[in-house]
Structure 1
Amino acid sequence: MNETLVTVVGNVATTPVYRELPSGPVARFRLAVTSRYFDAAQNTWNDGHTNFFTVWAWRALGTNVQGSVSVGEPVIVQGRLKVRDEERGGQHWTSADIEALAVGHDLSRGTAAFRRVAKGNPALTTPAAERETEIAGARGKEPVSAG
């Protein structure tokens, strides 16, 4: 099977919409991808055309996208490109969708704290600071600070 695999770098343009479907969970958001080019005559970087993609993240990826991605954040999306043509209300529409295989924050533009998702072991999914507070509370002590 021939598929068009793409990797795009852009900013989240809409709040992810999360739904539980009979086929499993899915999250959908719009991604704005703006090309940049260097104008040697003016010695400046300029923005080019902005493309918008609808990103679809299924199953566990959709659940994690919903809990991790917000509007304006820079992300990298890898997935299958699907261009759709349709008629709606007498008008012709073309849209470019990406069925995501991987979504992650663009760490060249910021930092992120990764939390592994593991069912049945909340110690693996709870941030370290919260775990320290929970453990100390259970022991009846103040949490120990690292600094």
Structure 2
Amino acid sequence: MNEVQVTVLGNVATEVRYGETAGGVPMADFLLGCTERRYDRERACWADGGTQWLRVTAWRALAVNLIGSLAKGEPVLVTGRLRVREWTEGEVKHSRVEIDARSIGHDLTRGTTAFRWAACVRGQPPGAAEPPGAKPAGEPVPGWIVDALESRRASALASVPARPEPPPGARAVTGQQGEVSEGERGGEDRALLG
């Protein structure tokens, strides 16, 4: 069977949605916005062209790893099988272009990222040594998702610069970035979670 394989560069346009099939198979999806860049000879500069919107769907380990790895607005490379999904609602026919993802990663021409080993590494024989930082294979998937989100949240909080002095009347809490008032920290938590 012939399949159309594609590699697409774009930005994550929605939050990653996670779910499981009735059989317990993890799946995640998000909308990918791909904007063409063209050189405008008249103005002698690069300009944005039209934006294509693609639904990206991931399954199993890739779906679980997306939850703690991607956020809305981040630039990514997606490789997978191109599909055109068609359905009918009443008398109206609809279609949408989708990518059944095989691999997804950040676009490192636009920034940096830090790799963390997943709990299960495909192809390892039973009893093989776990990669550094891997979680025990017996832990349930939802726990890994919570851990990944907490790790991402902690990294985001650690990168927020601290004020030199806390506001008057605030009790100071010492962190890795220096002193940050509890009031400031609470606002950052709400911004990340909200």
Is 1:20 paired with 2:20?
yes
| Distance across 2 between alignment mates of 1:92 and 1:85 | 7
- Say which one has the larger Rg: 2
Q: Tell me what 1:47 maps to.
A: 48
| Distance across 2 between alignment mates of 1:50 and 1:81 | 17
Task: Identify if the C-alpha distance between structure 1 residues 16 and 49 changes in structure 2 by more than 3 Å, giving closer, same or farther.
Answer: same
Secondary structure at 1:124's aligned position in 2? coil
Measured against aligned partners, the alpha-carbon deviations of 1:112-134 in whole angstroms (never above 9, x if no partner) come to 0000113596951488xx9xxxx
Percent identical among aligned pairs is 45
Q: Tell me what 2:107 maps to.
A: 106
TM-score normalized by the length of structure 2: 0.61
Q: Tell me what 1:139 maps to.
A: none
Matched ranges for 1:1-147 at <5 A:
1-21=1-21, 22=23, 24-119=25-120, 124-125=133-134
Return the letter of the residue paired with 1:124.
G
- Using CA pairs below 8 Å that are at least 6 residues apart, which structure has the higher relative contact order? 1
Give unpaired runs (5+ residues) of structure 2: 121-128, 136-150, 156-194
RMSD between aligned residues = 2.3
Residue 25 (structure 1) shift: 0.3
| Distance across 1 between alignment mates of 2:117 and 2:27 | 19
More strand by share: 1
Measured against aligned partners, the alpha-carbon deviations of 1:87-146 in whole angstroms (never above 9, x if no partner) come to 22432211001000000000100110000113596951488xx9xxxxxxxxxxxxxxxx
* Residue correspondences, number: 129
In the TM superposition, structure 1's runs of 4+ consecutive aligned residues that sit over 2 Å from their partners are 89-92, 118-123
Secondary structure at 1:37's aligned position in 2? strand
Contact 2:12 2:32 in 1 (8 A): yes
Return the letter of the residue paired with 1:6.
V
Return the letter of the residue paired with 1:79.
G
